[in-house]
Structure 1
Amino acid sequence: MTGVKHGRFVARRMTAVEQFRAEKKAWRLVQLLVGLVGYGTALTFLVGSALGASAWAVLAEGLSVRSGISFGLATSLTAVVVLLCWIPLRELPGLGTVLNVVMVGAAADVAALFVPAPTSLPQQVGYLLLGVLMLTFFDAVYLGARFGSGPRDGLMTGAVRLSGKPIWMVRTAIELVVLAAGWLLGGTVGVGTVLIALAMGPLVQQFLRFTTVRLKSDG
């Protein structure tokens, strides 16, 4: 399988050079930046809800608890390990891979300066639902720009390409495995964590049908 199917066409996988040479470059670059900023902002709403973080955050927290290293270092080390998993998956990095690491955290920090803390349970639930919707939508937006994926999304796209299974199935399986590992290591699991793990795959797959930029070389 040389690409990932999105709706009625197959998005061909491209090297970093091919990503830059492909048409619609300006539009795709804007879409990439909007997607990454939106993704980081979504994390702010999820954290602000205090109803549960993502599965990967639970894993990083669990590693931090077990090893004594900081949460940030655990997050970075997890990303490195995931990138190593790209090798057998033959996943191709790109501009999106680099900007994902640089921009998402920065966008989350900036958004945190403007997003007020919720003062009631209904507001917390609202933050959680909005955060999940934004996270899945903007994840699909930046992936659909075709400039490569971040470490964790690359694990998904590589597994989808090699297995031939639908995105929702692969993404949900990854989220649940990571969530279970984080919980076993001592990470904190909330209702939001479970919701994110179950919603990410199906929603990202649906959004990708509309956000993936179609190129002339696609099948």
Structure 2
Amino acid sequence: MSEATVPVPSSLPVRLVRLYGGLALYGLATALLLESGLGNNPWGVFHQGLSLLTGMSLGTAIIVVGALVMLLWIPLRQKPGFGTVSNVIFIGLFADASMYVLPTPGHLVAEVFYLTTGVVTLALATVLYIGAGLGPGPRDGIMTGLMRLGLSVRTSRLLIEVTVLIAGWLLGGTAGMGTLVFALAIGPLTQLFTRWFPLT
């Protein structure tokens, strides 16, 4: 099937499959990046740091942060959707489940494999859940809210991710080679996956 004939999902069942498939893969990707030990994405650094500080699980930290971030939607006049609430709850649950079943890599080759697989999986997951069209994730909503206040996409994204990265690092989260790899690869990979899974 050519790129031009790939159908954009419109029925609710297909959109729900995309949403929850994307959230499950996002939780898996989060766990892979953390278990690699080579560095998380910026929000992952923050979630890990909060988990280390409070003793809560990674998934619980993701859920708590997602819920608190949604409070910031109020002054930004953002409206959550069904997918937004699902994002808050299920990514954390899937992350904890993945952490439970994933073996800890004991060699650099395995760590690099976890890192690479995590970045690729996270890009696919992002395209799937956003493409479901059932509402942005809570963290995405902050970016779009700042854009409504006049900031550019680049400035909004940079401001948010640098802030959470520094905060997470100060809390003890792992930032390193994996963080750099994520920053460089996530955009091109996300764009690539939109060829097979068009955004609505």
Tell me which interval the TM-score lies in, with the shorter structure as reference length.
0.7 to 0.9
**Cα 1:194–1:136 shift into 2, 3 Å:** same
Q: What displacement does 1:131 show?
A: 0.3
Instruction: Decide which of 161, 179, 191 is 2:165's aligned counterpart.
Output: 179
Q: Distance in 1 between matches of 2:176 and 2:64?
A: 23
Which residue pairs with 1:41 in the alignment?
A: 28
Equivalent position of 1:90 in the other structure: 77
Matched, 1:143 2:124: no
Structure 2 SS opposite 1:51: coil
CA positional deviation for 1:146? 0.7
| Mapped contact 1:60–1:71 kept (Cα < 8 A) | no
8 Å CA contact 1:85–1:155 kept in 2: the answer is: yes
2:42 partner amino acid: A
CA contact (8 A) 1:97 1:150 kept: yes
Q: Equivalent residue for 1:70?
A: 55
Deviation at 1:58, TM superposition (A): 2.6
- Distance in 1, Cα, partners of 2:175 & 2:199: 35
Q: Which moved more, 1:23-32 or 1:107-116?
A: 107-116
List alignment gaps of at least 5 residues for structure 2. Answer: 1-8
User: Of residues 90, 115, 119 in structure 2, which corresponds to 1:132?
Assistant: 119
Whether the aligned pair in 2 keeps the contact of 1:143 and 1:212 (CA below 8 Å) is no
Structure 1: state its 5+ residue gaps: 1-21, 215-219
> Matched residue of 1:52: which SS?
coil
The reply on whether 1:190 has 2:176 as its aligned counterpart is: yes
Query: Alignment identity in percent?
Result: 44
Once the two structures are TM-superposed, the CA of residue 129 in structure 1 deviates from its matched residue by: 1.2
C-alpha change, 1:30 and 1:105, in structure 2 (3 Å) is same
- CA 161–38 in structure 1, closer or farther in 2 if over 3 Å, else same: farther
Which letter does structure 2 place at the counterpart of 1:42? A
d(CA) in 2 for partners of 1:101 and 1:111?
Answer: 17
Deviation for aligned residue 1:135: 0.8
Structure 1 residues 62 and 47, CA, compared in 2 at 3 Å: closer, same or farther? closer
Paired amino acid for 1:70: G
Change (3 A) 1:98 1:61: same
Whether the 8 Å contact between 1:156 and 1:171 is mirrored in structure 2 is yes
Deviations 1:85-118 (A, max 9, x none): 2123222211111211222222223334543332
> Number of residues paired by the alignment?
190
Q: TM-score, normalised by structure 1?
A: 0.70
- CA shift, 1:143, in A, is 0.9
- 199-208 or 114-123, which deviates more: 199-208
